[in-house]
């Protein structure tokens, strides 16, 4: 019998509030990371001065060219579903996206 891991509802933009508070108290650029997947969210974060920059990690695993796609407006958000299975592969194989399927 094959075990299926349940998928969870991912949290989006989960560090933005903390980054905003940090930004109010420092005089250096603040970068925020954490579940930021849509270009609209990125624009809102930077445009509302909640952080100076947005960083992503897992979206680059599934879409190495995502920055160009967002810039060229050929897509508006990452295809990453935040399953985290890519992180499991660190110890067994090359890191890659498993898109919700246990490696």
SS percent in the chain: helix, strand, coil, step 5: 35, 5, 60
Flag whether 103 is in a domain.
Answer: no
Neighbours of 47 (CB within 10 A): 8
For residue 95, what pLDDT is reported? 87
Instruction: State if pTM tops 0.85.
Output: no
Flag whether 92 is in a domain.
Answer: no
Q: What is the pLDDT along the chain (103 residues), one digit of tens a residue?
A: 566 666 667 789 999 999 999 999 999 999 999 999 999 999 999 999 999 999 999 999 999 999 999 999 999 999 998 888 888 877 777 888 988 777 6
Flag whether 85 is in a domain.
Answer: no
Q: Where are the beta strands (DSSP E) in 1-103?
A: 31-32, 53-54
Tokens of 71: 């810039």
Number of independent structural domains in the chain? 1
Q: Residue 60 is part of which domain span?
A: 16-78
């Amino acid at each position: 019998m094959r075990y299926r891991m349940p998928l969870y509802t991912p949290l989006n933009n989960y560090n933005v509030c903390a980054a905003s508070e940090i930004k109010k108290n420092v005089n250096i650029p603040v970068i925020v990371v954490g579940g930021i997947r849509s270009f609209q969210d990125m624009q809102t974060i930077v445009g509302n001065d909640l952080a100076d920059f947005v960083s992503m990690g897992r979206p680059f695993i599934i879409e190495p060219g995502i920055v160009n796609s967002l810039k060229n407006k050929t897509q508006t958000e990452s295809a990453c579903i935040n399953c985290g299975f890519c992180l499991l592969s660190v110890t067994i194989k090359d890191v890659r996206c498993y898109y919700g399927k246990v490696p």
